[in-house]
Amino acid sequence: MTDPNSVESTEPESRGEKTASRSLHILVIDDDPNIRKTLTFALEKGGHQVVAVGNYQDGLTEGTQQVFDLALVDVRLGDRNGLALVSDFQSDAPWMKVVVITAYASIESAVDAMKRGATDYIPKPFEPEEIRLVTEQIGRLRALETQVDELQDRLDRSEPKLSLETNSVEMQQSLDMARKAAESEAIVLLRGESGTGKTLIARAIHDWSARRGKPFGVVSCPTLSEELLASELFGHEKGAFTGAVREKPGRIATCDQGTLFLDEIGELPPALQAKLLRFIQSREFERVGGETTLQADVRIITATNRNLETAVEEGSFREDLYYRINVVDIALPPLRNRRDDILPLARQFLEFFSRVNHTNHTDFTAEAREALQSYLWPGNIRELRNMVERAVILGEGEHVGLKDLPALSPDEQRVPRIGDPITLDELEELHIRRVLANTETIQEAAETLGIDPATLWRRRKAYNI
């Protein structure tokens, strides 16, 4: 007679079949040591990472301290009901899929499991092939969720996908360093002026690495208050602060096994610098308002347009954190040093914004091309992007001309000095235009100008910016 708690040891007939669509981090919770051993063997053979425990409390502890893609949970765990773990995991780790396994299958328990949020329900005894099929399905689902998150991230930023081909020797050297760094697990520090493409290179490093296909997250350090930035990075518990109406996992948790890019790391508040240093050293962290220590396997890439060495000397940036993030230091040249790349980049932006805005722009006039290449581009690639987008929206005809690029006219390019015969309004308009070209968001621009976003909006309307 077959033991209801056993797993059949028969191998699948087709050994050449593909296993899961992606490697998963799996938690096995079963009080039978033979089940744990057999499941661990079968899952690890399929290329997955497995943690196996034998009781309710250990399962709850592991499930809330580490980031798992999937949990296989037995219904009866000694005198505890394993279905309660389904509810716990739904609350504390909503991204994790839970599959219930039991030797005492019934319609009632299956319905109860699904109501609590279980993804699937498998009665014992089961064969390795059943587990393989379940992990494949979960793997495909998690991969799709990752893709959706990343696509939404890209849509939110509305950024065209730029080619990394370059005619600049300096830029090519930086790309070569980035490719070599991508093959390692080293933390990368990207340096460069605002708008030089640091986010693009960070994404490329992730795509070239062994972590490609896993989550890639971006956190811009200057754009949030210290409290919200802590929540964005580490997550928060329900009720941790005003507005925290539900638990939030945070970027570190959702990027487990992937890469997290921290843009403008030099703006990270001192209290968060200490927490980030601890995570880099131990891979451990706590959510805001929480006491449970969590773990995650995340590669960190950082970027800055500040001189961090000076910040260390001034005491605004921790020296120990500086040395931890400055393992591979890659400098990105400003656009003015990449003259041969200006027109190819401008044409990529032109093609993208023409398609998005349903216009028929195909190229720039000779006069516009000459002006594009001779301009100094203080806002770098971001300024070029904004200028081309404006030209596409407001310009007419197939070719973008100099009249569609007013910032490139000789009069506009002359930067006035203090004391020149110009009005305060003219000076203010020029300053606002330059700040907007060098910042990513209205909030960031307003903070740089020392005014609130509503005031900046009124200024933009007045100056037709």
Determine contact, residues 61/89, Cβ cutoff 8 Å: no
Determine the 3-state secondary structure of 28 from DSSP.
strand
Element (H, E) at 64: helix 56-65
Asked whether residue 9 is assigned to any structural domain, the reply reads no
Whether 384 and 272 map to the same domain: the answer is no
Asked whether residue 253 is assigned to any structural domain, the reply reads yes
User: What pLDDT is stored for residue 105 in this prediction?
Assistant: 67
Whether 303 and 414 map to the same domain: the answer is no
Max intra-chain CA distance, the chain: 99
pLDDT band at 15 (very low <50, low <70, confident <90, very high): very low
Asked whether residue 360 is assigned to any structural domain, the reply reads yes
Domain limit, last residue, from 304, 333, 362: 333
**Angle 68-73-77 from CA coordinates, rounded to 5°:** 130
Distance CA 370, CA 386 (A): 18
Whether 447 and 323 map to the same domain: the answer is no
Determine the 3-state secondary structure of 153 from DSSP.
helix
Whether 95 and 38 map to the same domain: the answer is yes
- Least confident range of 44-53, 123-132, 437-446: 437-446
State the Rg of the chain over Cα: 27
DSSP assignment string, 97-113: EEEEEESS--HHHHHHH
Whether 125 and 206 map to the same domain: the answer is no
User: What pLDDT is stored for residue 384 in this prediction?
Assistant: 95
Whether 170 and 266 map to the same domain: the answer is yes
Domain limit, last residue, from 313, 333, 353: 333
DSSP assignment string, 277-340: HHHHHHSEE--BT--S-EE---EEEEEESS-HHHHHHHTSS-HHHHHHH-SEEEEPPPGGG-HH
Determine the 3-state secondary structure of 408 from DSSP.
helix
Model pLDDT for residues 191-248, shown as the tens digit of each residue:
999 889 999 999 999 999 999 989 999 999 988 889 999 999 999 988 888 777 788 8
Residue 101: pLDDT above 80?
yes
User: What pLDDT is stored for residue 48 in this prediction?
Assistant: 92
Determine contact, residues 332/194, Cβ cutoff 8 Å: no
Distance CA 465, CA 446 (A): 14
Residue 9: pLDDT above 60?
no
- Least confident range of 260-269, 363-372, 448-457: 448-457
Alpha-carbon distances, residue 365 vs 368, 370, 381, 402, 409 (angstroms): 5, 9, 20, 8, 14
For residue 208, give the CATH number of its domain: 3.40.50.300
Alpha helices in 193-307 (DSSP H): 198-208, 226-234, 251-254, 270-282
Determine contact, residues 98/89, Cβ cutoff 8 Å: yes
Asked whether residue 157 is assigned to any structural domain, the reply reads no
C-alpha of 26 from chain center: 22
Q: What percent of the chain has pLDDT over 70?
A: 90
User: What pLDDT is stored for residue 130 in this prediction?
Assistant: 86
Residue 10: pLDDT above 50?
no
In the numeric block, which tokens belong to residue 295? 């773990």
Whether 222 and 243 map to the same domain: the answer is yes
Whether 388 and 437 map to the same domain: the answer is yes
Q: What type of residue is 226?
A: E
For residue 120, give the CATH number of its domain: 3.40.50.2300
Average of pLDDT values for 385-403?
92
User: What pLDDT is stored for residue 319 in this prediction?
Assistant: 97
Asked whether residue 153 is assigned to any structural domain, the reply reads no
Q: What percent of the chain has pLDDT over 90?
A: 49
- Least confident range of 86-90, 437-441, 442-446: 437-441
User: What pLDDT is stored for residue 418 in this prediction?
Assistant: 66
Please count the structural domains in the chain: 3
Model pLDDT for residues 330-369, shown as the tens digit of each residue:
999 999 999 999 999 999 999 999 988 889 999 999 999 9
Indicate the Cα dihedral angle 165, 170, 175, 177, nearest 10°: 160
Element (H, E) at 144: helix 128-157
For residue 432, give the CATH number of its domain: 1.10.8.60
Alpha-carbon distances, residue 75 vs 100, 103, 124, 125 (angstroms): 7, 8, 11, 14
Whether 179 and 54 map to the same domain: the answer is no
Q: What mean pLDDT is reported for the chain?
A: 86
Asked whether residue 297 is assigned to any structural domain, the reply reads yes
Average of pLDDT values for 6-14?
40
In the numeric block, which tokens belong to residue 371? 């002006």
Domain limit, last residue, from 333, 354, 375: 333
Determine whether 163 is exposed, middle or buried from the number of CB atoms within 10 Å of its CB (0-12, 13-18, 19+): exposed
DSSP state letter for 248: B
User: What pLDDT is stored for residue 455 in this prediction?
Assistant: 86
Determine contact, residues 340/167, Cβ cutoff 8 Å: yes
User: What pLDDT is stored for residue 131 in this prediction?
Assistant: 87
Distance CA 374, CA 408 (A): 9
User: What pLDDT is stored for residue 1 in this prediction?
Assistant: 38
Whether 312 and 420 map to the same domain: the answer is no
Question: Higher-confidence residue: 106 or 388?
Answer: 388
Residue 257: pLDDT above 80?
yes
Distance CA 142, CA 136 (A): 10
C-alpha of 102 from chain center: 37
Residue 2: pLDDT above 50?
no
Residue 3: pLDDT above 60?
no
Asked whether residue 214 is assigned to any structural domain, the reply reads yes
- Least confident range of 102-111, 115-124, 185-194, 241-250: 102-111
User: What pLDDT is stored for residue 5 in this prediction?
Assistant: 43
C-alpha of 450 from chain center: 29
Asked whether residue 328 is assigned to any structural domain, the reply reads yes
User: What pLDDT is stored for residue 447 in this prediction?
Assistant: 85
Determine contact, residues 378/438, Cβ cutoff 8 Å: yes
Distance CA 406, CA 439 (A): 20
**Angle 303-308-313 from CA coordinates, rounded to 5°:** 165
Q: Are strands 259-263 and 216-220 parallel, antiparallel or unpaired?
A: parallel
Average of pLDDT values for 180-188?
97
Whether 174 and 196 map to the same domain: the answer is yes
Indicate the Cα dihedral angle 279, 280, 282, 288, nearest 10°: 0
Residue 188: pLDDT above 90?
yes
User: What pLDDT is stored for residue 67 in this prediction?
Assistant: 86
C-alpha of 103 from chain center: 41
Residue 17: pLDDT above 80?
no
Model pLDDT for residues 310-330, shown as the tens digit of each residue:
999 999 999 999 999 999 999
Model pLDDT for residues 142-170, shown as the tens digit of each residue:
888 877 777 766 665 556 777 899 999 99
- What domain range is 442 assigned to? 336-463
Whether 296 and 196 map to the same domain: the answer is yes
DSSP state letter for 10: P
